[in-house]
């Protein structure tokens, strides 16, 4: 599907141009269109794209004043999850057009990571999950990269 605004996508689903559309509930809520949601996808059974739900701030490297201001709102758990997810996606050369999902979250002090890579036509899926006890950002990134490398060795070239 081409990029477009939410109402256009909802209209296409309503008039049968497309069978379905997946949209972020946060966006529907913000636009006052939440009543159009027919189902909430459970991240346990529908692995989202990498970085979903995270908010990022960008600052100049070495800008101590700005970095100190942003550190007050930095969320450690989100940073750990994103480190694993981004490293995973980076090793697989993922983009917004690549059928790859990855989701990491902290549970009982450990980082749980679940990922999926799909054949472009949806005919095949490769899934994998891992747990990292006592994660640091570097260890989380290595976990994601390691899983990405495992997938690269397993998935046929050209997918």
Distances (CA, A) of 147 to 4, 38, 116, 140, 150: 33, 34, 11, 11, 5
For residue 159, the model assigns a pLDDT of 64
Looking at residue 1, what is its pLDDT? Answer: 43
Q: Among residues 75, 66, 155, 78, which one has the least CA distance to residue 115?
A: 155
Q: Residue 4: what pLDDT? A: 56
Q: With a cut of 50, list the residues of the chain below it in pLDDT.
A: 1-2
* Residue 155 pLDDT: 82
10 beta partners: none
H-only helix segments in 37-136: 64-71, 76-91
Asked whether the whole model's pTM tops 0.85, one would answer no
* Alpha carbon distance 11, 145 (integer Å): 40
What is the structure's pLDDT at 56? 82
Residue 158: predicted pLDDT: 66
* Cβ neighbour number for residue 147 with a 10 Å cutoff: 22
């Amino acid at each position: 599907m081409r990029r477009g605004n939410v109402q256009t996508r909802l209209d296409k689903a309503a008039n049968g141009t497309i069978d379905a559309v997946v949209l972020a509930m946060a966006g529907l809520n913000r636009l006052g269109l939440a009543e159009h949601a027919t189902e909430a996808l459970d991240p346990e059974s529908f692995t989202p794209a990498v970085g979903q739900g995270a908010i990022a701030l960008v600052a100049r490297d070495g800008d101590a004043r700005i970095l100190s201001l942003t550190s007050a709102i930095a969320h450690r758990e989100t940073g750990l999850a994103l480190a694993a997810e981004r490293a995973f996606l980076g090793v697989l050369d993922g983009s917004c057009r690549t059928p790859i999902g990855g989701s990491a979250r902290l549970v009982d002090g450990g980082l749980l990571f679940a990922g999926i890579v799909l054949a472009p036509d949806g005919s095949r899926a490769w899934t994998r999950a891992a747990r990292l006890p006592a994660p640091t950002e570097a260890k989380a990134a290595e976990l994601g990269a390691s899983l990405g490398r495992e997938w690269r060795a397993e998935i046929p070239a050209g997918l």
